[in-house]
Amino acid sequence: MPHRPAFHLAVPVDDLVAARGFYGQVLGLPEGRSADHWVDWNLEGHQLVTHLVPTVPQPAGTSVVGQHRVPIPHYGLLLPEQSFH
């Protein structure tokens, strides 16, 4: 069986050009396969997929973490500090 990423996460976006700018240029994620309505990204060996959705859903709510309110749902990637920078 070929190597598979540890997780696959699909997220909605309302603009694939802007998503390519953010995920590809700002975050520097390598782009994988794509179609006219989705793009795969390599997120530290995991597969993040941005799917074009005309109306991006609003967060379901928020939760307090420390002294901050965070939107639900959300995701994060734990990295060593050097990789983060």
Q: What is the pLDDT of residues 5-25, one digit of tens each?
A: 578 899 999 999 999 999 999
Average pLDDT of the chain is 89
Whether 45 shows a pLDDT value over 80: the answer reads yes
pLDDT at residue 42 in the model: 94
Local confidence band at 4 (pLDDT 50, 70, 90 cut-offs):
low
Q: Radius of gyration over alpha carbons of the chain, in Å?
A: 14
pLDDT single digits (tens) 46-80: 899 999 998 877 878 999 999 999 988 888 878 78
User: CA 38: distance to chain centroid?
Assistant: 12
Alpha carbon distances (Å) from 4 to 1, 46, 47: 8, 8, 9
